[in-house]
Structure 1
């Protein structure tokens, strides 16, 4: 079961409350403002700052 569009509409970055976007075929969600990648495990987004991975600097 893939993540639904409705779920993406209500999810927000826990740091800045900004928009998150799916990447890597839905295996992660990215907040471009904070430059954080949140994993998706078993179709469940893990929106914890401790689980987030910082992505490359601009």
Structure 2
């Protein structure tokens, strides 16, 4: 049993995805660049319109684990400043 004050497992610093790793990863469908979601929980392929989850610092780059994003969400990501990436 975990302590009520303990952070959820995905908030553990050792599970954070290294920004250099993100730069090397590409969408498994389109082979295009992936964008980190604002909350850091997903890698998003704007071109394919898929959001791939990150679990315990490991991106799950398989279609079965991904969720589809709609055009509005894709457009918001396209227009997001590059420094947020």
Shared fold (TM-score greater than 0.5)?
Answer: yes
22-31 or 12-21: bigger deviation:
22-31
Identify which of 13, 28, 32 aligns with 1:18: 32
- Calculate the aligned-residue CA RMSD, in Å: 1.1
Extract unaligned runs of 5+ from structure 2: 1-13, 73-85
Higher helix share: 2
Please list, as runs of the form range in 1=range in 2, the aligned pairs for 1:1-58 lying within 5 A after superposition: 1=14, 2-58=16-72
Unaligned runs of 5+ in 1: none
Matches of 2:68 and 2:52 in 1, distance apart? 9
Q: Taking CA–CA contacts closer than 8 Å with sequence separation of 6 or more, which of the two structures ends up with the larger relative contact order?
A: 1
The aligned counterpart of 2:77 is none
Name segments (4+ residues, structure 1) moved above 6 Å: none
State the TM-score, normalizing by the size of structure 2.
Answer: 0.63
- Figure out how many residues of one structure are paired with residues of the other and give that number: 58
Query: Hey, which of these two has a bigger chunk of strand by percent?
Result: 1
